[in-house]
Amino acid sequence: MSTAYLSHPHCRRHDMGPGHPECPERLSAIDDWLIASGIGETLVHHEAPEVKMADVERAHTHGYVAEVSEVLQTCAATGTSHAMDPDTVACPHTWAAALRAAGAAVEATQLVLDGRHENAFCAVRPPGHHATRDQSMGFCFFNNVAIAARYALDVRGLQRVAIVDFDVHHGNGTEDIIAGDDRVLMVSIFQHPLYPYNGAVPKGENMVNVPVPAYTKGLEVREMVEAMWLPALERFKPQMIFISAGFDAHREDDLGQLGLVEADYEWLTLRVMDVAARHAKGRIVSCLEGGYHLGALARSVGVHLRALSGV
């Protein structure tokens, strides 16, 4: 089993300002942990390429892509910043980072489908799962996982893919993009009510949304996954699985109030791998979403990668 690890230095240069939780230090913390633990030596490292706009437009409207591209390129050219919303700020380096983040997801999909690696993890910023078809929000500009999933379907010819989202916040952008697309099953668990304050009522029959109250702990989450996610995934028989890997449901993370710990992320990863082994030839592409307590993020990504790589 080999696991690809995709990232790019540009992803560290995207900076939404002092004190912002979605900060460049997130990737540095992950890298430091991979070095200290030795896990990094077991991974096959790839530099993320820039995404093609044609691939971005498989998930986002042409008008949205044109608008965001103009804003981000203007920031790059003028050295200025621009607030897309109160929480989502483009800086002069955001355009380059966003291209590499989405490009990593598509490249990882190609690497896995070409049989070069069984699975892949994209350590990228900005994250993506709040970006809807036509709106940036929640620290997100392009929806990396949705772009990759649509690439697998529309370009590589897969018939069924699943998206697993265990971020503490509902992946409303991904839901907006894929709701009603019967080629995609999305299963997610998230704290509710919490930003973006939706998801309790799914937008389509291809969604398994599991909202949970604040202070829910890992054992309860596992029981819900066993009861609701896994049967749906078994029935669907995905040919590939994409993970929106947010680690902000960790009990040490202040952006949510759930009680997961590293062992829970390992368990979630292994359960998804079980489904992938049965139906998808083990094919998984995981993309970093949330996770803002640097220590908890690094440790949680570490167990996630240890499970994916089988070490």
Catalytic residue set:
130
Taking only Cα atoms into account, the Rg of the chain, rounded to an integer number of angstroms, comes to 17
State how far the alpha carbon of 160 is from the alpha carbons of 36, 132, 166, 187, 243, in Å. 38, 21, 20, 14, 15
- Torsions phi, psi of 83, nearest 5? -85, 115
User: CA 262, 128, 160 angle in degrees (round to 5)?
Assistant: 85
Residue 1: how many CB atoms within 10 A of its CB? Answer: 12
End-to-end CA distance of the chain: 9
**Encoding tokens for residue 23?**
């900060």
Residue 137 DSSP one-character state: B
Q: Which residue shows structure tokens 């449901």?
A: 249
